[in-house]
Structure formats: C-alpha cells, structure tokens
Chain A
C-alpha cells in the first residue's frame, strides 16, 4: 500500500510538474533539401545530414529591435565549390559566372561568383538552417540565405530551395 501511494504521489507530482513547466515543442518544418544545378561539374542535392557535416559558419545580424540574432549554416561558396563551381579559380570567362538563388514561392536573386570568391569580394553569404541555435521554421525556413554584407535584406532569400549556376561566356 505504501509503495502504491508513493507511486501515486510520484505520478501526480510528475503530471503537475509537466503542466506547470510544459516543454517548448520544436516547430515543425518542411524537410531540409537544396538542389544545385546548371553550369557545374557535379549537380547536387543536399539534405540536412549533408549540411551538418560541411564547413559551417555563424553570422550576427542586427534586428529591428536593436538586438542581434545569430544565424548558422554552410557558406554558399562551400556548397558551390562542392558542386564544382570555379571558386578560387576565377579567371577569364569564369568571371562571367553567377548563381541564381530560388525560393519556394518563386522569388529569385542573383549573386556573381566574384562576390563570394575569397580572392575577390569574399562576401560571407550563408545558407542558414539555424537562427539563435534553433532550426528555421515557418516562412523563414527550413533554409534561407543570410547576407551580412548587404545593407538591405532583399537578397536574404527565405524558403531557399535551389541554386542554379549560370556561366554567361562558355
């Protein structure tokens, strides 16, 4: 009887504590996947597990309220390098290469390889999957671009789905 009562009390306490301190559920989101296609030697499809083991960087971005948020993800240049884009080898006609970043809703923006190549612009542009340590969700994610060097935010594509590399002069 005593043991049964102890179990009852324990269960009641667990239920009470669970109600008093509910776990914050993780936001649900679409599966992480990004395709790299176009004028590259190795077209790719990267999933969450691929992005997790690639070189990762963080970037702090000021918010409207004056605070900063920290995005984390894989540098765009690393993804393009893996697909065989001429990052680090930009010479001659290769300098006419650009990448089109495409979002789920059809939104598109363009970056030249020269902007992100370490020997030229060397801009840090991230394909981010985390914001302040949490997976991106809702209209932001599951992947988005983060462009800390841009003054306006319009190239920080939300709901990023695909990267298409285009070489103008072949």
Chain B
C-alpha cells in the first residue's frame, strides 16, 4: 500500500513538472524559510505564509487530499469538503448558497479554495478567521448552520484506523505523533492540501508573466486596461497577483485586511443588509461595518457563478452592471465604499472586461489530477 502511495506521489510530481513545462511561465523554485517544502511558484507569486506548527509536506498534502474527498467526514456519509468545493468549479459549488449534509442551507456561497494559501481572511465576513486549520473545524463541527455535521464523539479515530489507506497515510504524514489519528491532524492535513491548490497557469499568466502576446485575445487585453483604469478602479480591491486585497504571504503575514460594502442592499430598519448577512458587523459590532465583505480572488471567476456573498447576481455581466451603477439596490447605503462610485461603460467595454476575467480561468487547476478525488482510483 505504501508503495502505491509513493507511486501516486511520484506520478503527481511528474505530472506537475509536465504541466509547468507546458506553459511559458518562468518557474521559480522557492524554498520556504520555515521548512524544506518546495513551492514551484512562477514569477510574481510570493511564498505563502504557513503556520509554524504545520509546515508543508508532500505526505500531509496527500493525506489531506484523501480526507478532503472523504464523505465519512460528514454526519450521514453524504458529503465531503468537495461537495461544496468542486474542483471543476474552482472549488466552489455553483450554488448561490451552500447546502449542508442534512439539507440545511448556509446563508452565503461557498468560497473558492484556489490560491487560498495567500488568503488573509478565509470567509466572506469573519476578519478573525485567518487560519485554515482553525477554519476547517467550522464546516466539520459547526451547528449554525450544519455543514458536515460531525460530532466530536463520532468515532473518527476508530474508522480511520480501520481503513487501510489511512493506516498508511496518517503515520506517514505525522511520523512523530504517538497517536496520529486525531482531529487536529485531520485539520492540519486538510490545510496542507488546500494550501497546495495553486492557480498560476491561466492564459493571463502566460501573457502577463510569460511574455506570450498571443495567449489572450485583443479583447482581453483591452479588458485588462479597463480593469486597471482609475475610472473603474476594479484593481483597487481586486489587485495584485491574486486579484484580491486580502493577500498575505510569508514576507507579509499580518497585512491589514480590507472589507467592503459594495452597495448591494440598502434595506430599511436596523441593518441595511438582510440578516444574517450583515458583513463583518457580525463580529465587530461597529455600525459602519454593516454590509462589509471580503473582496474574493478573481482568479477563475468565470467558473464560480453565481456572484457576491449571497450569490444574488447570476452573471459577470450583472456584476459589472452593478458596479457601473455604483451599486444598484444599495446605491445610497451609508456604508458603501467610496470606490463604488459608478462609471459608464460601452457594450464593447463590458465584453472586453468579461474577456479579461475569462482569461483568468486556469483550465489546468480545474483538471489537475493532483487536486482531484483520489478515491476514484482505488
């Protein structure tokens, strides 16, 4: 069994090298200061921040992949992490809001896990949730709403010990642990797998970092200029290599994070946004924080519809129209970010902007076997 696991690791490594070689991106083999794990990152991508108590390792990444796709990690065996984070949808689920194992609806949409290693804030509206290991506990054990619906006394250690694959992988991933079959180790392995999902091979990457002028269309090039135009100011919240302003890295792990009210609602009453989606106000209790949410990465945004925290806008065109109007329903929201000032854009400009956003789709990450369901092969 160990041989099979090692073979799968080796095959994954070979595949990774082949995929990178196929692109025109200059690779930069970077070694983290914290550990010897090698991030094969293209130019422009900083080394991610990794907690000191959970250094990256290939073994943990592989264990995390099995756990990520394991429906036994839900109360009724019906859902795994992958149920709401589907690889082909850039690890979202295509729904406006998530639905848990027992059928309970979440109030917000499942966020993409692509490039989550650089995500300073992990959820739409919790400014204190910065750690993937800690965040994994929410869908596993949370009750409001129930997502995976696990119970602490659910007998995880028993069934994990009885599975031949885990009998191999847990000690391999945690060789120094007396008892490796623990929930903290589950969350550590899941976090390592999630950090390893790097999207850097889009057509835009080949154009912008790889110098391949033919990688994107002329329309996408015009759209890029519009995206970085001061009048539209898209880049002000969706900037940097990961197209978000919540990026952290090994060199800059404690950046001040921004959250934005984009004028989506201006409801009468106590809150201007429909509860329970009141933004970071839920945690800060500051009235000016009602309606402030994270600006997510725009990488692979073309495959992660519907949009906004509650999935209330079905298309990219609708999102552009929302911002062009300076926020439609919430145009006059007192907490609206001044950057949402509105702009005029032609039909061609809109098409160009969408072409640019589509150029951020990384087909490789949507189909890369290293991020796929390992149980399918067994």
Contacts and interface: CB of A to CB of B under 8 A. Distances in A.
Interface residues of A, number: 20
Contacts of A27: 207, 211, 213
Interface stretch (A7-15, A35-43, A64-72, A117-125): A64-72
Nearest to B232: A105
A138 B224 contact: yes
Contacts of B46: 64-66
Nearest to B228: A139
With most chain B CB atoms within 10 A of its CB, the pick from A24, A26, A64, A103 is A64
A139 B225 contact: yes
Interface string B36-55: 00000101111100000000
Contacts of B214: 25
B323 to A, nearest CB: 16
Given A65-B41, A65-B43, A138-B221, A26 B249 contact: no
Contacts of B24: 24
Contacts of A28: 213, 221
A28 B224 CA distance: 13
Contacts of A24: 24, 210-213
B247 to A, nearest CB: 8
Contacts of B229: 105, 139
B28 interface: yes
A64 B249 contact: yes
A65 B45 contact: yes
Interface string A131-157: 000100111000000000000000000
B230 A107 contact: yes
A106 B225 contact: no
Interface in B286-318: none
A107 B236 CA distance: 13
A24 B206 CA distance: 11
Interface string B226-241: 0111110000000011
Contact of B211 (A63, A64, A134, A158): A134
Given A106-B230, A106-B231, A139-B228, A64 B47 contact: no
Interface of A: 24-28, 63-67, 103, 105-107, 134, 137-139, 158-159
Interface of B: 24, 28, 41, 43-47, 207-208, 210-214, 221, 224-225, 227-231, 240-241, 247, 249, 251
12 contacts: A24-B24, A24-B211, A24-B212, A26-B213, A28-B221, A64-B46, A64-B249, A65-B46, A66-B46, A67-B43, A138-B208, A139-B225
